[in-house]
Amino acid sequence: MDLFEKCYNFEEADQAKAMNLYPYFQPIETEQGTEVSIDGKKLLMLGSNSYLGLTTDERVKQASIEAIRKYGTGNAGSRFLNGTLDLHVELEEKLAEFVGKEAALLFSTGFQANLAISALVEKNDVVIIDKSDHASIIDGTRLGFGKVKRFRHNDMNSLESSIRRLDSQAGKFVVVDGVFSMEGDIVNLPELVDLREKYGLRIMVDDAHALGVIGKNGSGTADYFGLTAQTDIIMGTFSKSFASLGGFLASDKKVIDYLKHHARSLIFSASITPAATAAVLKALEIMKSEPERIEKLWENTTFMRKGLNDLGFNTGNSVTPIIPVVSGDTMKTLKMWRTLFDSGLFVNPVLPPAVPLNEGLIRVSLMATHTKEQLKTALEKFEQAGKQIGIIDRLEAGS
């Protein structure tokens, strides 16, 4: 059998393109602010993870430019050997302080930070994950030599049931998202911590979508619940609120030191660039000194969610700036995306297997820099598209 046969038989993308319903890899021609340009057309951006709007901040841009002038465009090696800069060490120290941990460790992407899970899970260990966890968490567990168990989304009874069936002598590691990237809800960390104390678990919280959003000055889920000491590892990414690219893990010094010497996704990968590192340092500074950005983000979130709900849309259990708009089957979801796109809204369609069959959704995400006028315009376009596709009527009928 030809290894490439699967490639030549893959037709779903071509079929969607032929129907003018292919939503992916749209080439954006401008910086990613509240408005972007695609093929010369202006669209209102409601699909970005730049929650605080810092990707277009001139101070962040300037910090990156100055770092390039001082350090060059890259580090020509891994952190383990020649690729560690004083800039990296400075950022690690400031991130550890920010999230309330002893030490932190930078990775070139958030995905690589989660792959480091594999360094902690050995043959006799068990890692237990939420069914809605990030794909990078799933891949990190697959690379480890321990067993992998899954529990129902944010269901601590399901988690406890899984724990009870495990060997009491096994090392147990629970990895969850802080803010779930599709549902927009927050992990039930207080009950998870109760299980930690009861069964001797270790906990890691992926705060990719929580940093800059919840907790003091946006310091994340553990701070939001006042449970930083009981949260063993905090993970974060830089591609969202931090307006850059990369990721980190924060924990006890001994845990971080172990990861420095065992995490293959760190040791065998080139280190985060000077420009990306400097951008995070500046974004962190702004995040801490301008809390009004987070206040504005939540003001926009509340306004948009209420507006969508008032129109009759189902936004699930979201309580964060990630707002899923349930749209139904694949075809209806793609038609909704296309209608919104043509009307000038950039949103993200989410299809199976990322969501259950016939539970497709349009993922809306808010930014602190959105204006009320922009959000009012977005709601008008959602109403028009929802009626045209039949989503609002279907939801109002209770089906």
Q: Would 241 be classed as within a structural domain?
A: yes
- Supply the pLDDT for residue 395: 42
For position 221, what pLDDT does the model report?
98
What is residue 289's three-state secondary structure?
Answer: helix
- 3-state helix, strand and coil shares in percent for the chain, rounded to the nearest 5: 45, 20, 40
- Residue 111 domain boundaries: 58-289
pLDDT of residue 232: 98
119 and 241 fall within a common domain: yes
Domain count, the chain: 2
The CATH number of residue 356's host domain is: 3.90.1150.10
Active site residue 381: no
pLDDT at 356: 85
Q: How many CB atoms lie within 10 A of CB 110?
A: 22
Instruction: Provide the token pair at 209.
Output: 């979508």
Q: Is 181 a catalytic residue?
A: yes
**In whole angstroms, what is the distance from residue 112 CA to residue 139 CA?**
10
- Looking at the fold, whether 155 and 216 belong to one and the same domain comes out as yes
Q: Are 95 and 31 in the same domain? A: no
CA atoms within 13 A on the CB side of 395: 22
Domain assignment present for residue 99? The answer is yes
Catalytic residue, chosen from 101, 172, 209, 370, is: 209
Do 40 and 144 belong to one domain? no
Residues 231 and 358 in one domain: no
Could you say which of 258, 289, 320 is where a domain stops? 289
Which of residues 289, 306, 333 is at a domain's end? 289
Q: Are strands 360-365 and 348-350 parallel, antiparallel or unpaired?
A: antiparallel
Pairing of strands 360-365, 322-328: antiparallel
340 φ/ψ sector (left φ>0, alpha ψ -120 to 50, else beta): alpha
H helices of 100-229, in order, are 110-115, 117-120, 135-143, 156-164, 189-199, 221-225
- The catalytic residue among 101, 134, 240, 282 is 240
For the chain, helix (H) and strand (E) counts, in that order, are 17, 13
In the beta sheet, which residues pair with residue 235?
206, 249
Q: Which residue has the tokens 């820099």?
A: 369
Write down which residue in 289, 324, 347 finishes a domain: 289
**In this structure, what are the phi and psi dihedrals at residue 213, rounded to the nearest 5 degrees?**
-120, -50
Our answer to whether residue 108 is catalytic in this structure is no
In a domain, 383, yes or no: yes
What is the domain-level CATH number for residue 253?
Answer: 3.40.640.10
Closest listed residue to residue 35, CA positions, set 362, 314, 373 = 373
* Residue-level pLDDT at 399: 37
Q: Cα separation of 256 and 260, whole Å?
A: 6
Instruction: Give the separation between CA 179 and CA 188, rounded to whole angstroms.
Output: 10
Q: Do you find a cis peptide bond into 353, omega within 30 degrees of 0?
A: yes
Q: 50: alpha, beta or left, given left = phi > 0 and alpha = psi -120 to 50?
A: beta
* Low pLDDT (below 70) residues in the chain: 394-399
| The model's pTM | 0.95
- Do β-strands 41-45 and 125-130 pair in parallel, antiparallel, or remain unpaired? unpaired
